[in-house]
Every structure is written in structure tokens, then in C-alpha cells.
Amino acid sequence: MEYRVGAGTFRALNDVSFELPTHRVVGIVGETGCGKSTLGHAIPRLLPQPPAIVRSGKVVFRGVDLLRLPKWQMPSIRGTGIGMIFQEPINSLNPAFRVGDQVAEAVHIRRMRERGLDPTFRRDVQGTDYSRREMPRAGDVVSAPFVPPALVDRAKARSPPVSKELHEEVLSFLRLVRINDPERIVSLFPHELSGGMRQRIMIAMALSGKPGLLIADEPTSALDVTIQAQVLTLMKELMEEVQTSILFISHDLGVIAEMADEVGVMYAGHLIEFGPVAEIFESPRHPYTKALLRSIPNRYKSEGPLPSLAGSVPNLSRMPAGCAFHPRCPIARDVCRHDPEPPFVAAPAGPDGAVHRSACYFPEEVASLP
Amino acid sequence: MGRSKGDLVVFIGKRLLQLIPVLLGVVLITFIFTHLAVPNPCAAWAGPKATPSVIKGCEQFYGLNKPLPVQFEDYIVGLVTGNWGIDPLTHTAVLPSILAAFPATLELVLAALFLMVVVGIPLGVVAAASSGRVADHLVRIFYLSGWSTPTYIAGAVLFIWASKEFGLSGGAFSTITSPVPTITHMSVVDAILAGSPSATADALEHLVLPATALAFINMGVATRMTRTSMLETLPLEFVKTARMKGLTEFWVLYKHALRNALITTTTVLGLTTGAMISGTVVIESIFTWPGVGLYAYDAITSYDFNGTIGVVIFFAVVVVVANLIADVLYGLLDPRVEWR
Amino acid sequence: MASATASAARAAAAGSVEEEPSGSGVRSSVVLFYRILRANILTLVGFVLVVVVSVTALLVVVVPPITHLILGHSLSILPYPPLDTNAFPYYQAPSLAHPFGTDQNGADVFSNVVAALPTDLGIGFFVAGVSLVLGGLLGLVAGFWDTPGTLSGAASVTIMRLTDIFLSFPTLVLALAITATLGRGEIESEIAILATWWPFYVRLTRGEVLSIKTQPYVIAARAAGVPESRILFRHVVRNLLEPLAVYFTMDVGTVIVTYSTISYIGVGVPASIPEWGNLMYGYQDLLLTAPWTVWSVTGAIFVTVLGFSLLGDGLRDILDPRSRRIVASPGRQSSKLEPSS
């Protein structure tokens, strides 16, 4: 994945290779600007082309390489195949339409495809079909009263925007994300909702396509801490209920540890470590992962200032030769400063046979770092 | 302070009240420009051979011998009571002439507006969606061509070319073969109301050229504004959300992005009323379209001061009302706007 | 079955990366200007047209007096004197001697059209320029010192009311009415257009000032105790220049169109002065018999106005801060394209 800007080109994604097994949650973690969001956007081909250029690589979804798919077929992958939740719910809902209509549109698209009425739709990449199953029961209701009563009365006066059946399904998806009064919420506009509520709507909208893969791009970063916890709890519960694969992107290692089964650590457009979440946290095999872990506040020990990682992510247009991390690495040696970059290799299999790979010449020494 | 129907009524009422000082200012400025610049037009009207007594009589008749403040007061009273003066050459009353001509102008402007919306807005979307590529260049050349063509050239060329090719001639009613009763004074609407297909076709035939000329020179506003606001809307997150629902690019562009881009385009279209009306003066005079623009052209070129003042004030009222309509439309289109 | 593999194998070696512009402000603005022109071919076309038209107009005006000084007799870049009746046979089609042919008075159309260029272009620059200065200053006052309850606040309200009133007039109609009352003449027409033109600049400037005033960097400067005068010049005026420059560029063309319309209707410049609207008025019936006359004038107006429009339209795309980043500096691109985080 490259960006072409003016006469210059730089690589935003490089050598990122992993598998996302069915019904598992893979977390992607890294600093700002490391390419994790670019990765999230590259999979459903949301990056604007130009300036983004895909030089090489594959995104295989249900046996189809999405990067080779003609552009006009991409919409049929989205929604029912791959769903996405974005970072800022304020911006990711269309300000001009009622939220009910926006969710209804996603439901409508899926229903058209289920009935074979969508001419662009590809059967071979059809969404996971859990439509015949009972809708999951809503758990505890967490949505608080936040809309002024005047708005409520007016909202009730507005007629339902869609057909009865569609309307019912929209309501059921809003109940799924623990919205306790969906009849009222559907006729509100995004700006009349709180941030947490908007993100619930976004989640409901993504889930209503019943996607096989859900990409959550920092879904809680823009929210208040308390709302963040609510939304994370909701997502955690939903993971059990809706059975899709999830790619969870976050800069917060704590969130990743909570949500993910496997973790990929990214640095400067490279995937530098990938493995089961427990393994990565207990025995990281890359000095960058170690440094990230060290900077998590520990609530039991407070020994002076938190350690922080000196320096910053290199500018993608001026990448250092060799290992991208060597300027900031405490164990860098000569071999790290020259090409080629360290290969992405698997560690000797652990007792449970899980694969744990990292891109470091000296993975054994990482354990000895402070 | 909200968005209920009552709030909208209050909002419109307030805006109408705010119009009063603006309109007073319009009248004052028009009065100053005409009465101070030419304190005594009687000499010009009466011609070089007129005797002093004739000029005196003329002054008496039009109240020009009174002090300026009194003249202004008389003028305001006249405006409010509907007495906008009479054309000194034809001795016809100004306001009834303007009001009788207005439906024809409204018809022309609405037809041009329709073309601008139906052709201009999709072109703006196409240009924004293919920003920097050939289609974008072509669209920009198209609307900038309209922008760069003076109204009179577009009108005259179209008029002469069409009268040579098709034998079409100008005028809303000039060659209508089967006359229909005039109800609304809009040729097409009257023909439809009369239920006569041939008269409708004839009226449309006469409308299409002036409306096209007027739309072409103002096309830039609709297209350019749509292109600009689409360029601002397309990078927003909710466009990505729309794509991720599985919508095809057509619906992403024309439903989700354009719905938001239209908010700005509507406002700007309201603000072009002034330019459209300026255009009618030239277009109507070329096509002899019996509207207010033609009346304005005749009044100005024959130095009919009462007619000129009347037409300027009338047009200012139209512009102000059009801006109010654009404001209300803006509020209706953008659910985030509160009516206050 | 839902198995997704994201894999971007090592990409081929990336191309060279252009260094960010560094060094003096002048040099970086030259670099920016170069990038602007290279970014869009239409902007470049507009720029070239504007330069060609302006240089030609300058030569028409400047060459006769200079040659008179140096050689003792005037030379002109016009092949023949403009509006010279009965100089040549009537209605001659374009030829080598008369590239745009001759008209119904036997005058050389090319000379007429080129002789009108300085008049029209000069009026365009003059009216748009005076409006820019006058309207810009009024808009700055109305936008920057609009605290209610103060003297300047009252002035601000007055300016805006007056602007609203003037904006209610359809430009051309009011200008026509004023010229009709003032009488025909170059100065009279200019005053008439000016009277209707400045309010647009007041509205534009005030809107920009109001939005700049609430920008975080201005509030931060205020909080840091930066004096008002410095805020006014360093932040507000500095950021006004770009939108005003864009508007001005497009406006020169609009003035030319409006001005020639007034002449065409017959109340503007006297017929003895070569001016495009005047020429068009004389040629309007010749579209079928001597089409070269009409097309020459049309072409001249079209090319001139289109040049300014293309340049202004392109500048707007580029000077808009969002799109500007794309053109100006590849280094900062990542922050724009990386969609979130």
C-alpha cells in the first residue's frame, strides 16, 4: 500500500500479513501514525485511489482476493460481508437523515441481498446467515435519559419512516445494542443523540448487515471514559451473541487485552509482532512491544514517572534503512541498521502450539530488557 | 427556539419584520440616486424646443418643484398606497404594468432555475467525484464558459441561430396559433390549464431558448457550488459509513453526499436571484419576452425615471423575498439549524 | 469459513520523495506557486491567458508614447487605427491583411477588438480593485470590531445594514439605472458599477473575519496577551488575503462582462470609444451576414474572462486550506490520509 503525493511516493503499509480466523477477535495496536487505521481501511478498499496505490499484496476474504475484485463489485462485499465501525460517531452518521432511516437502509440492503434482488451482489461472498436464528435478547438496559422531553414529544409525532416489517427489524437491532426506547430514538437526528448513543447506532448499523468480518477502528477512542467502558462492555457482550470475526484496532493496549484473542503490533507501517494475546503480554518478542507494555500504568506500583519511549515514529517518506525501529531500539546492533529488514518469523511453538511471530533479529534478548 | 411548525412561523414573521428597514433603505437609496443625480428630468423629457411654461407644467405635475424631503414623503406614501407614478411618455401607471409583466418573468426565471438544478447539480457531482480527471476538467470548462459569456452574446447568438435554423421567434405569446385564456399570465401554465397540447408545445418552444440562455450563463453558480461542497463532503466519515453499508457509489454520491452538499447549494442559488434578474433584463429584451426585464430595459433606455425607480424597487423586493425563501429552505434542509 | 487474510507483501522500492520546500518565505511561495500551476492544467491555462491578455493590453497603452519618446513618432502594436470608418472595403472576410476581417463601417475588426482590450481590462481591474479596498476595509471593520454597545459596534451594525440594502439590488439593474440618470460616459459607468459592487466584498470579508476570529490560534494568541493590532495584522489580515485574492481574480472577469453589458444596452460608454459591449452592439445584426465580427468580439471577451475565471477557480481549489496541504507538502500528507488515530 503506497501513497503517491506530488513526485513522491511513500509506503504506508508494508509486509503486513496475518490471518483472521472465523469468530475470533484480532486486535491491532500501535502508536498514532503507525498505519493501523490505514490497514483497517485498506481491507474493504476505502482508501481513496489516487493517492493510495496498492502495489502488491492480497486481502483474501472468503476465498476472494478483494484487491483483485473490480471496483464495481466492492459494494457487494461491504455491509453483508465486511462491516465497519469508525472512530468518531459524531462524523460517521449522516447529519441529514434520521438515525432510524440510516439503520433501515443497512437492513434493507441486506434483505435485498438475502432475497437475491441486488444485481451487483455476489453469492460466493454472501454474509454469515444468522437471520433465521432468534435475535439475541437484549441484556441490561444502559441507555440513560438524555433527550429533553420536548424533543421526545416531537419525535413521537413523526411518522415511522419505513415499512412496518423493516421498521420492526430496525427496532430489534437497536434493542440488540441495549437502546431501551428505540421507538423514540429512530426518529431523532444524529445531532440530537449523545456520543455513546451515536456509537451504539453505528454498531447496530454495522451489525444489521450481518457481516462476516467486523472492523472496529478505534470505536471508543473519541468517547468519554465512562461511556467508553459502557460501549466496550456492550461490544464484549455482542461478540458472544453475533458470532462474527472482528478486527479490533486500538492504540490502547488495555482495551486490546480485554477484547482480543490475538494481537498484532504495528510500527511504521510494519506488522512487527503477532500472536495470542496472553503470549504477547507475557513474553513479547520485539523490543517495541516491550516498550509499549512498559508504558501501561500499573495500578499497584507507582515508582515515579511512567517510562515513556523516547523519539517518535519515523516519517514514512524518510524511513531508516534496515529495521524501522532501530533508531529507538535499546538493543539495536549493526545488523539492524542495514538492509534487509528483519524477517517476520515464528518463535518456536509454545506448549499450546499457537503461532507467535515477530520481526526482530534478537527476539530472545527482549525478555532481558527492563 | 427549536424546529416545530410554530417556530418556523415565528422565524418567518421575524424575518419579514426585518425586511422593513431594508426596504426603506432601498427606497431611500433609489430616491437619492435618481433625484439628486437628475434634479429636474422635465427638461430632458420635454425636449429642446419646449417652452419654459411647458417645463413648469411638467414640474408641477410630477411635484418636482417641492423641497426634496416633501418629494420623498410623497414618494413613500405613493409607494405604500400603490401609486408608483406614471410613465411620462406612455402615460401608463408603473405598478400595474410591472405586476402584469411579473408572471412572465417568474416563469422564465423558474424555467431557468429548473434547468440549472436538473443539469447543473448532477454536473457538479460528476466533477467532484472525478476531481482532477478529464470529466472534472470538461465540467469546469463548461460552467466557466457560461460564466465568461456575457448574457447579451449568449442570448443574441442563440436567438439568431434558432430563428435561422427553426424559424423560432421570441415572445411568449407572439406566434401562439391557438390562443388560450390568460389566467396566470404564464404562457406554459395557461396553455396547460386550457388543456391544449398544441398551445402547451408552442409555449414551451418559446420558453426553451430564453430559459436555456439564462440557465447557461448562471449554470456556473449551481455547478461550481455543488462541486465545491461535494469536494468538502466526500472526505467526511459518514460517506465512508454509507460505502460500508454496501451502497453502490451512485447512491453514496447522490443520496448521502449530495443531500448534505445541497444545503450550501440551495443558499447560493437563492443568492443568485439578483444575477438571474439582471439576466432577464438582457434576455427578455433580446427575445422580446413580455416580462419585467423587458419593461426595465424600455424604462431605462427611454429615460423613464418613474419606471426605472419602480422596477429597481420591485426587483429589490423580489431579491429580498428570494433570499428569505433560501433561508427557510436552508433551515428545512439542515436538521441541525434551529429556527430563531 | 469467514477467513480473512490481509497481506501486503513487501512493496516494490518506493520512488524518490521530493524534499519539502525549505528556506526563505519568498522561495517557498515560488515553489508553492509552481506546484499550484502544475497541479491542474486548467489553472495553468488560465494563468497563461491572464498573462497574455494583460501584457497585450499593456503594450497597446505603452508602446505609442514610448516609441514617440524614442523615435519621435508613435508606433502602435495595432495594425490600423481603431474605429476608423471607411478605411477599407466593408464586410471583408478574415484575410492575412485583416485577420478578423472588416466591419460594416470598413474598419479593421482586429484593431477594434485589441484597442478595446485596455479599456475593458482596465475597468475590470479598477472596479474590482476599488471594491476590494473599500469593501475589504469596511468588512474588516464590521467583522473585527463588532462588540455590541461600543461606538465601533454601532459602526459595524451600520455598515452591515447598508451592505444588506445594497445587496438587495440586482447589480446590473441598479448599475443601469444609475448610468441612465448620470448620463453616458466612461466615468459615469464606472461609478455606477462601483456603487453596486463593493457590498459583495464587505460581506465576504466580514464573514471571513468572523470565522478567523473564532479560530483556536487567534483565541490562543489573545490568551497569551498578544496585542490586538498584532492579532489583526498577523492573523486576521494575513488569512484574509487568500480568499480575497481568489474572489478578486474571478471578479475582474465578472466586472468586464457587466460593464460591456451596460455598453451593449446603450447607456454606458459613448459609441466613440472602442469597447467590447459597444462593438457588440454595432455588430449584433451581422451574425448571419458577417459572422467574423461577432465571433471576434465574443472570442475576445470569452478568452479574457475565461482566463480570469480559470485562474480564480483553480486558485480557490488550491488556496482552500484543505486541498492546499495536498499540493504544498508531501511530508505532511500522512496526517491527512491516515483516516483516524
| A205: CATH | 3.40.50.300
C259 contacts C280 by C-beta, under 8 angstroms: no
Q: Within this chain, do residues A168 and A108 fall inside the same structural domain, yes or no? A: yes
Q: Within this chain, do residues A30 and A80 fall inside the same structural domain, yes or no? A: no
- What pLDDT, in 10s, does the model give residues B99-141? 988 998 999 999 999 999 999 999 999 999 888 788 988 998 8
Q: Within this chain, do residues A199 and A114 fall inside the same structural domain, yes or no? A: yes
Using an 8 Å CB-CB cutoff, list chain B residues near C257.
148-151
Is A149 contained in some domain?
yes
Q: Within this chain, do residues A51 and A182 fall inside the same structural domain, yes or no? A: no
Confidence of residue A352 (pLDDT cuts 50, 70, 90): low
Q: Within this chain, do residues A115 and A196 fall inside the same structural domain, yes or no? A: yes
For residue B236, report the phi and psi dihedrals to the nearest 5 degrees.
-70, 155
Q: Give me B261's grid cell.
A: 452538499
Query: pLDDT at residue A244 above 60?
Result: yes
pLDDT at C323: 44
Q: Domain of A125?
A: 63-216
CB atoms C341 and A57 under 8 Å: no
pLDDT at C129: 95
Is A77 contained in some domain?
yes
Confidence of residue C341 (pLDDT cuts 50, 70, 90): very low
Q: Within this chain, do residues A39 and A80 fall inside the same structural domain, yes or no? A: no
Smallest CA-to-CA distance from C341 within A35, A231, A247 is with: A35
Is A292 contained in some domain?
yes
Q: Within this chain, do residues A206 and A115 fall inside the same structural domain, yes or no? A: yes
Q: Give me C120's grid cell.
A: 475593458
Q: Within this chain, do residues A347 and A204 fall inside the same structural domain, yes or no? A: no
Q: Within this chain, do residues A328 and A211 fall inside the same structural domain, yes or no? A: no
- What pLDDT, in 10s, does the model give residues A71-94? 777 888 888 888 898 888 778 899
Concatenating the DSSP letter of every residue in C286-297 gives GTTTSHHHHHHH
Q: Give me C204's grid cell.
A: 465576504
pLDDT at C23: 42
Query: pLDDT at residue C137 above 90?
Result: yes
Q: What is the mean pLDDT of residues A33-50?
A: 78
Q: Within this chain, do residues A68 and A187 fall inside the same structural domain, yes or no? A: yes
Interface test with A, best of B241, B252, B253 (most A CBs within 10 A): B241
Is A191 contained in some domain?
yes
Smallest CA-to-CA distance from A78 within B149, B111, C188, B249 is with: B249
Query: pLDDT at residue B170 above 60?
Result: no
Q: What is the mean pLDDT of residues B245-269?
A: 87
Is A12 contained in some domain?
yes
Going along chain C from its start, the domains and CATH numbers come out as 28-65+309-330 (no CATH), 125-286 (1.10.3720.10)
User: Which of residues A197, A216, A235 is at a domain's end?
Assistant: A216
Q: Within this chain, do residues A120 and A156 fall inside the same structural domain, yes or no? A: yes
Is A230 contained in some domain?
no
Query: pLDDT at residue C175 above 60?
Result: yes
Is A290 contained in some domain?
yes
Least confident window among A6-10, A175-179, B293-297: A6-10
Q: What is the mean pLDDT of residues C299-318?
A: 87
From C335's Cα to the closest Cα of chain A, the distance in A is 8
How much is the pTM? 0.80
Highest mean pLDDT among A134-143, A240-249, C131-140 belongs to C131-140
pLDDT at A36: 80
Query: pLDDT at residue C197 above 80?
Result: yes
Compute, in degrees rounded to 10, the torsion defined by CA atoms A221, A225, A228, A230: 180
What would you measure as the largest C-alpha separation in chain C, in angstroms?
93
Concatenating the DSSP letter of every residue in C65-97 gives HHHHHHHSS---SSSS-TT-TTSS-TTPPP-SS
Percent of chain A with pLDDT over 90: 0
Is A354 contained in some domain?
yes
Q: Within this chain, do residues A337 and A323 fall inside the same structural domain, yes or no? A: yes
Q: What is the mean pLDDT of residues C190-195?
A: 88
pLDDT at C339: 31
CB atoms C287 and B160 under 8 Å: yes
d(CA B125, CA C19): 35
C331 touches chain A (CB under 8 A): yes
Cite the DSSP H helix spans in B82-150. 94-115, 121-129, 134-148
Residue-averaged pLDDT of chain C? 78
Q: What 3-state class would DSSP assign to B62?
A: helix
**Helix H or strand E segment including A264:** strand A262-267
Q: Give me A85's grid cell.
A: 465501525
d(CA A188, CA A200): 14
Percent of chain C with pLDDT over 70: 83
Q: What is the mean pLDDT of residues B330-339?
A: 82
d(CA B117, CA B330): 16
Least confident window among A210-214, A239-243, A277-281, A344-348: A344-348
Q: Which fold has domain B94-294?
A: MetI-like fold (1.10.3720)
Q: Which residues contact C46 (CB under 8 A, 6 or more apart)?
A: C306, C307, C308, C309, C310, C311, C312, C313, C314
pLDDT at C214: 84
A111 contacts A50 by C-beta, under 8 angstroms: no
B 289-328 → C contacts, CB under 8 A: 296-297, 300-301, 303, 305, 308-309, 311-312, 315-316, 319-320, 323
From C75's Cα to the closest Cα of chain B, the distance in A is 32
Query: pLDDT at residue C308 above 90?
Result: yes
- What pLDDT, in 10s, does the model give residues C209-263? 888 888 888 888 888 888 888 888 888 888 888 889 888 998 999 899 988 888 8
B101 contacts B108 by C-beta, under 8 angstroms: no
- What pLDDT, in 10s, does the model give residues B60-112? 776 777 777 888 888 888 888 888 877 767 778 888 889 988 998 999 999 99
From C73's Cα to the closest Cα of chain B, the distance in A is 38
